């Protein structure tokens, strides 16, 4: 069936079916956008758009949980979908323009497909979609890889919007003879593709840790950073050389230092989804050599502290050590998690280092590992460490795993088949399939696929704090004692500065050159996460009523309330209620399912409260340092200041210059929500 026919078929039942029974996203389209059938264009008008874009208009977009939110589910598809949600890293994209990596955020947003999408393959497609949106007063939603945590590429709750879907704009090139280090990627390229392409040319491109995040979308424009490759060459905004963008008035412009420099500045951190639709982006790449195996090393360690004071002692030594090494050469993460018995676990997850001889790596790491296993370390439970003569570039380029064997490359480009485990097994056998699916940076990212976020927070820490490890450690102790700060990641890599020769030194661009929060230029650490099991297999869009299959409800609610999830994280009282009402024995009928669902709602209420406790504590401990707009609470207080600091006013001005009618809007984006 060609796309054109698909459009005609699906449109037959469009107005009555589609997103009609979706409830969800709290982003309210401004009243100026059409949001009811009265003003919505008729089917013939949509057909004209479909003709204009050569059959690339799609309607009735599928959501990853479509079968679960549109009961009765005759074929058991809901249970099947639910069972497979974490099986493939590319789950979000299997669903095309309706897919998204997360299914929503507690009291914030729910993944809702828009009524239509233009599946763009060119700037002309984007221009046609924008023209149509303007002429018919329809809200455009820009979606690339669909990984936004804050639902900024998801539809409004009623679905009355048009997705401009850039995911299939996959061109990549190294074609500038004058500047052979420049690599241009289309708006739909994901990091997986970009790493492989760069590596094939002996180059390293700084990108995100998760291979299915877009390489020319929200990551780039929102201030994307690399956890694992450190900050030797800066991060996304430092290496973004130019971009092509379709503006709200339909013109395609280049943004670079030379052309449209104000727009270029805004794109270097001002956030996706708001200044226009980016069609391609040019990255500065780097010789891959410093990140190769013989120049790299990784340290994994574990230690468990039985008291907060012991934790502070550990942190003091960790920061003393880190303050003494050449921080430019380091990246990676340290994870902290509190256990039910009050103990605090710390792990190097791993710490990574580059561009030194193996002797230098070992010498520097040994200063830390000798202390970790010595009697001076009070956190002796589970103490262990492993030093690996390995690299993240050869085996996991930039955090994504190795380039695929050539015979499998085609497969990764055929994303729908990629998610079909049984089809893969037929072709590659069990072992081969496991290998293919294991090409994912880590279980954390894998678990994130399809998750419902109960809470999130982030904060940068100034690199100057390494001057006083004791005070920094005391702050971490306070943080760890804060209710709701159950588990968090400390990233050494996601930061733009180092502490060197007793000074804070920024790597990459200067503070004036980029539009991210100015404090990020001075940051030496980045913290994120916080809620134990911030992630849950749950969606408030799934009705708990007689239309549902009871066997599914039992499994789903039990899992959401007890296993990985919201209630244990919300506190003992909630965990006990969940055990009582959501055990498999308790879930005997629909009434019991409803009672359990109420408990789950209470758990989410409690987590929502705790989210603010953590947010306030972070702001107290590190005032003025800001949160990272791509990895922040949906409910970030003072978001303009916390995301962009003193740059917000200029960003807002530029937004008005390039989009005076405020066509492009999204949650906590520049110029939105005035």
Ligand X SMILES: Cc1cc2nc3c(=O)[nH]c(=O)nc-3n(C[C@H](O)[C@H](O)[C@H](O)COP(=O)(O)OP(=O)(O)OC[C@H]3O[C@@H](n4cnc5c(N)ncnc54)[C@H](O)[C@@H]3O)c2cc1C
Q: Which residues bind ligand X (CB under 6 A)?
A: 101, 142-149, 152-153, 166, 187, 208-210, 213-214, 217-219, 222, 224-225, 227, 272-273, 277-278, 445, 448, 630-631, 666
278, 217 contact by CB (below 8 A) = yes
> Phi first, then psi: what are they for 164, rounded to 5°?
-100, 100
3-class state of residue 396 by DSSP: coil
3-class state of residue 73 by DSSP: coil
468, 474 contact by CB (below 8 A) = no
CB of residue 240 to ligand X, shortest distance in Å? 13
CB of residue 148 to ligand X, shortest distance in Å? 3
Identify the helix (H) or strand (E) that includes residue 611: helix 590-621
Shorter beta-carbon distance to ligand X: residue 316 or 401: 401
Shorter beta-carbon distance to ligand X: residue 153 or 343: 153
Shorter beta-carbon distance to ligand X: residue 140 or 323: 140
Return the exposure string of 315-339: e unless at least 16 CB atoms fall within 10 Å of the residue's CB, then b.
bbbbbbbbbebebbbbbbbbbbbbe
* Residue indicated by tokens 């920061």: 319
Give the C-alpha separation, 419 to 94, whole Å: 7
> Computed from CA positions of residues 104, 109, 114, 118, in that sequence, does the dihedral angle turn out positive or negative?
negative
Give the C-alpha separation, 362 to 387, whole Å: 8
Give the C-alpha separation, 110 to 163, whole Å: 16
- Contacting residues for 420 by C-beta, under 8 A, at least 6 apart: none
Shorter beta-carbon distance to ligand X: residue 143 or 521: 143
231, 209 contact by CB (below 8 A) = no
Strand 162-165 with 116-119, pairing: parallel
- Angle of helix 469-481 versus helix 590-621 axis, rounded to 10: 160
Shorter beta-carbon distance to ligand X: residue 152 or 196: 152
Instruction: Report the largest interatomic distance among the alpha carbons of the chain, rounded to a whole angstrom.
Output: 77
- Contacting residues for 121 by C-beta, under 8 A, at least 6 apart: 56, 168, 169
Q: Burial level of 447, CB count in 10 A (0-12/13-18/19+)? A: middle
Shorter beta-carbon distance to ligand X: residue 65 or 582: 65
Give the C-alpha separation, 318 to 54, whole Å: 58
Closest CA to 220 of 249, 247, 188, 246: 188
Shorter beta-carbon distance to ligand X: residue 104 or 214: 214
Shorter beta-carbon distance to ligand X: residue 187 or 241: 187
Shorter beta-carbon distance to ligand X: residue 166 or 302: 166
Shorter beta-carbon distance to ligand X: residue 236 or 348: 236
Closest CA to 154 of 250, 264, 63: 63
664, 276 contact by CB (below 8 A) = yes
CB of residue 567 to ligand X, shortest distance in Å? 24
Give the C-alpha separation, 292 to 294, whole Å: 6
Shorter beta-carbon distance to ligand X: residue 166 or 548: 166
Quote the distance between the C-alpha of residue 269 and its chain's center: 15
Shorter beta-carbon distance to ligand X: residue 40 or 191: 191
Shorter beta-carbon distance to ligand X: residue 486 or 496: 496
Identify the helix (H) or strand (E) that includes residue 505: strand 503-506
- Contacting residues for 628 by C-beta, under 8 A, at least 6 apart: 222, 223, 225, 458, 460, 494, 520, 526, 528, 643
């Amino acid at each position: 069936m060609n796309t054109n026919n698909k459009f005609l078929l699906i449109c037959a039942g469009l107005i009555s079916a589609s997103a009609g029974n979706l409830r969800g996203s709290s982003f309210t389209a401004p009243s100026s956008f059409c949001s009811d059938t009265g003003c919505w264009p008729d089917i013939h008008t949509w057909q004209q758009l479909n003709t204009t874009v050569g059959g690339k208009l799609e309607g009735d977009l599928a959501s990853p949980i479509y079968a679960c939110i549109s009961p009765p589910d005759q074929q058991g598809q809901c249970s099947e979908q639910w069972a497979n949600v974490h099986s493939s890293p590319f789950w979000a994209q299997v669903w095309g323009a309706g897919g998204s990596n997360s299914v929503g955020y507690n009291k914030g947003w729910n993944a809702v497909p828009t009524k239509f999408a233009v599946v763009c393959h060119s700037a002309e497609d984007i221009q046609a979609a924008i023209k149509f949106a303007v002429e018919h007063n329809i809200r455009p939603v820009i979606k690339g890889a669909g990984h936004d945590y804050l639902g900024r590429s998801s539809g409004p709750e009623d679905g009355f919007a048009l997705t401009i879907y850039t995911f299939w704009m996959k061109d990549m090139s190294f074609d500038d003879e004058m500047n052979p280090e420049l690599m241009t990627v289309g708006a739909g390229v994901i990091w997986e593709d970009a790493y492989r392409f760069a590596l094939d040319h002996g180059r390293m491109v700084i990108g995100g840790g998760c291979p299915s995040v877009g390489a020319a979308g929200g990551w780039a424009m929102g201030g994307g950073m690399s956890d694992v490759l450190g900050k030797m060459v800066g991060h996304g905004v430092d290496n973004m050389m130019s971009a092509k963008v379709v503006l709200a008035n339909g013109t395609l412009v280049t943004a670079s230092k030379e052309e449209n420099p104000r727009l270029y500045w805004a794109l270097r951190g001002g956030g996706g989804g708001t200044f226009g639709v980016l069609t391609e982006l040019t990255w500065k790449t780097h010789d891959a050599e410093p990140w190769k195996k013989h120049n790299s090393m990784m340290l994994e360690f574990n230690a468990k502290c039985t008291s907060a004071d012991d934790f502070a002692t550990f942190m003091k030594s960790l920061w003393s050590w880190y303050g003494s090494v050449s921080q430019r050469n380091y990246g990676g993460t340290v994870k902290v998690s509190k256990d039910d018995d009050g103990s605090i676990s710390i792990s190097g997850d791993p710490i990574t280092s580059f561009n030194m001889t193996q002797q230098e790596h070992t010498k520097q790491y040994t200063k830390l590992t000798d202390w970790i296993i010595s009697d001076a370390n009070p956190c002796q439970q589970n103490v262990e460490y492993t030093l690996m003569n390995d690299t993240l570039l050869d085996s996991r380029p930039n955090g994504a795993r190795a380039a695929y064997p050539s015979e499998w490359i085609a497969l990764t480009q055929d994303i729908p088949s990629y998610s079909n485990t049984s089809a893969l097994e037929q072709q590659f056998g069990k072992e081969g399939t496991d290998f293919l699916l294991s090409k994912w940076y880590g279980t954390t990212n894998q678990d994130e696929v399809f998750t419902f976020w109960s809470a999130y927070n982030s904060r940068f820490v100034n690199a100057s704090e390494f001057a006083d490890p004791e005070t920094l450690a005391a702050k971490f102790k306070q943080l760890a004692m804060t209710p709701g700060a159950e588990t968090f990641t400390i990233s050494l890599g996601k930061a733009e500065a180092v502490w060197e020769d007793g000074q804070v030194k920024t790597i990459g661009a200067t503070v004036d050159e980029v539009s991210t929060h100015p404090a990020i230029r001075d940051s030496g650490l980045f913290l994120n996460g916080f809620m134990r099991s911030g992630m849950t297999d749950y969606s408030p869009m799934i009705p708990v009523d007689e239309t549902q299959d009871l066997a599914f409800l039992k499994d789903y609610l039990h899992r959401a309330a007890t296993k990985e999830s919201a209630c244990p994280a919300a506190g003992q009282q909630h965990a006990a209620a969940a055990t009582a009402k959501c055990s498999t024995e308790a879930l005997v009928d629909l009434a019991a399912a409803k009672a359990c669902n109420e408990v789950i709602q209470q758990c989410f209420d409690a987590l929502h409260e705790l989210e603010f406790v953590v947010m306030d504590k972070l702001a107290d401990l590190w005032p003025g340092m800001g949160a990272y707009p791509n990895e922040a609470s949906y409910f970030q207080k003072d978001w303009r200041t916390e995301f962009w600091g003193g740059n917000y006013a200029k960003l807002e001005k530029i937004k008005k210059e390039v989009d005076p009618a405020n066509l492009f809007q999204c949650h906590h984006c520049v110029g939105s929500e005035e």
